[in-house]
Amino acid sequence: GICAMFFMKEAMEWADRNGGLSGERIKQGMYQRADWVPEGLIGVCPKATWTPEDHRGFTRVALYQADVKGQPAADADLARLFDDGTLRVRQVYEVDVPRKPQWLCW
C-alpha cells in the first residue's frame, strides 16, 4: 500500500507541473515512466509500468513478519532499533498472482 501512495504522489507532482491537478492529468502522470520505482524506494517498491491499455497493479505479493526483542520505548529511534537488532523484519512468504484481463481496473 505504501508504494501505491508514493506512485500516486509522483504522478500528482507530474500532473501539477504539466497542466494542473486533475484526474485525467494524474492518470497521464502514471503513464510517463517505465520500470518506475518511486524516488528513494529502490529495494522497497517493485518496478512498475502503467499504460493506457494495462494499468493493473503488481503481481508479486510479499508477506513480512516483524520480530521485536524486549519492550523498546514508544519514542525510540527506528533506525537505532534496526541497527542494534531490537527490531528485525523478514519476508516469510511470497506469491505471484497472475494478471487476468477482467482485472484491468480504473
pLDDT digits (tens, 9 = 90+) for 11-68: 999 999 999 999 999 999 999 999 999 999 888 888 899 888 877 777 778 888 999 9
DSSP strand E in the chain: where? 60-68, 87-96
pLDDT digits (tens, 9 = 90+) for 75-105: 999 899 999 999 998 889 988 887 777 766 6
CA distance linking residue 43 with residue 17, whole number of Å? 27
In 1-77, alpha helices (H): 2-17, 23-30
- Residue 31's nearest CA partner among 46, 53, 9 is 53
In 18-71, alpha helices (H): 23-30
DSSP count for the chain of H helices, then E strands: 3, 2
pLDDT at 4: 87
